[in-house]
């Protein structure tokens, strides 16, 4: 699909660096946008709406000093448990945040408030039903969060999820889950996706505000170390086994727990994520802690090499 006008000609790679709770900050966003990739952060990474507004102002000032930066995105948690939603949305409207990424609820009023000033709304989904509801709410893009992703991952294969979403959604489609390299971004495009959406890979960068021990744990981890469990958030999310063990979770009990549950209150969840660290199954493909610019330039090389290889494929 053609990209919306706001993104057309503004990206040097078809990539969004995904918003991550406690990880993304203005330095990471600016490094991404400066290298032609959409950078993003959750509004809740700042303690209050005033702090969130200061981050937006810092990002806007940083972008103004860059030549042709990519647009940035803010993540809003659209869930009754988020008491800041209206105040944070008002800041997005005031500053005309180019892209708003909504999670946990697709609400027409939020979509309309952003579209009214010319912004785009992309919404996270893990199933066809979620996708249909978001499409009804009028979102500009769907983020297919497939099995193995970091954070509140889905359980569907990316092939199944993308194929079903494309049956009814012809706007911008993004794919999340275990993407770390340029050739994986191209593979996503081959499935019919417009933009790759990468989270875990960006934890392991100099700019990310993950604690050093978190970054080191991630570098030592493999896919088998990722535990998808509702025990921390109330709803299933992916965590590093080593951090669950350090936090004292009973690993045998976790393996037998498969309930879907309900999202815990946000303050409880926030506290838990400080000591229990999330990552996706793609961890095994991450071996270094580069600065974000170096990572993006490498992704570009890999992407173009994969494109060249694709020309030589035979039926
Ligand atoms: C540590 C961590 C925190 C996350 N926090 C959020 C969040 O606050 N809001 C959100 O929409 N997604 C969040 N996610 C999900 C990411 O935005 C993205 O969907 C996911 O990381 C993509 O999969 P990958 O990690 O395999 O690349 C988080 C993911 C991780 C790993």
The pLDDT of 120-126, averaged and rounded, is 98
- How many Å lie between the centroid of ligand 1 and the Cα of residue 76? 13
Confidence of residue 259 (pLDDT cuts 50, 70, 90): low
Edge to edge, the sheet with strand 172-176 lists 15-17, 195-198, 172-176, 141-145, 120-125, 99-103, 72-77, 39-42
CB 6 within 8 A of CB 71: yes
CA 32 to chain centre: 13
Best substitution site from 16, 19, 205 to test ligand 1's pocket, by max atoms within 8 Å of Cβ? 19
| Distance in angstroms (rounded) separating the CA atoms of residues 202 and 186 | 18
For atom 21 of ligand 1, the residue with the nearest CA is 199
End-to-end CA distance of the chain: give it in Å, rounded: 25
CA proximity to 151, closest of 38, 235, 253 = 235
223 — phi, psi (to 5°)?
-55, -35
Domain 15-209, CATH homologous superfamily name and number? Aldolase class I (3.20.20.70)
Computed over every residue of the chain, the mean pLDDT equals 95
pLDDT, tens digit, 9 for 90 and up, residues 50-88: 999 999 999 999 999 999 999 999 999 998 889 999 999
Q: What is the pLDDT of residue 54?
A: 98
User: What is the percent of the chain with per-residue pLDDT over 70, rounded to a whole number?
Assistant: 98
pLDDT digits (tens, 9 = 90+) for 21-36: 999 999 999 999 999 9
Q: Where are the domains of the chain?
A: 15-209, 212-281
Q: If we measure between CA atoms, which residue out of 81, 132, 76, 73 comes closest to residue 109?
A: 76
CA distance 84 to 81: 9
């Amino acid at each position: 699909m053609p990209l919306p006008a706001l993104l057309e000609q503004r990206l040097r790679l078809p990539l969004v660096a995904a918003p991550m709770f406690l990880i993304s900050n203005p330095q990471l966003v600016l490094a991404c946008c400066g290298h032609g990739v959409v950078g993003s952060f959750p509004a809740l990474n700042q303690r209050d709406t005033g702090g969130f507004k200061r981050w937006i102002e810092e990002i806007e000032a940083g972008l103004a000093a860059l030549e042709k930066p990519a647009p940035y995105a803010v993540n809003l948690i659209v869930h009754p448990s988020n008491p800041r939603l209206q105040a944070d949305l008002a800041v997005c409207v005031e500053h005309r945040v180019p892209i708003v990424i909504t999670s946990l609820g697709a609400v027409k009023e939020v979509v309309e408030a952003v579209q009214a000033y010319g912004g785009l709304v992309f919404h996270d989904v893990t199933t066809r039903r979620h996708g249909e509801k978001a499409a009804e709410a009028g979102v500009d893009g769907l983020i297919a969060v497939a099995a193995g992703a970091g954070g509140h991952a889905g359980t569907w294969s990316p092939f199944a999820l993308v194929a079903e979403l494309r049956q009814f959604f012809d706007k911008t489609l993004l794919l999340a889950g275990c993407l770390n390299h340029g050739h994986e971004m191209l593979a996503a495009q081959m499935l019919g996706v417009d933009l790759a959406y990468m989270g875990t890979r960006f934890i392991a960068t100099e700019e990310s505000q993950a604690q050093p021990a978190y970054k080191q744990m991630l570098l030592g981890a493999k896919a088998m170390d990722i535990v998808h469990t509702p025990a921390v958030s109330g709803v299933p999310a992916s965590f590093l086994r080593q951090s669950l063990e350090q936090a004292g979770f009973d690993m045998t009990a976790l393996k037998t727990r498969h309930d879907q549950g309900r999202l815990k209150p946000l303050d409880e969840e926030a506290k838990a994520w400080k000591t229990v660290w999330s990552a996706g199954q793609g961890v095994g493909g991450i071996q270094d802690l580069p600065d974000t610019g170096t990572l993006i330039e490498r992704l570009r090389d890999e992407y173009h090499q994969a494109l060249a290889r694709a020309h030589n494929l035979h039926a």
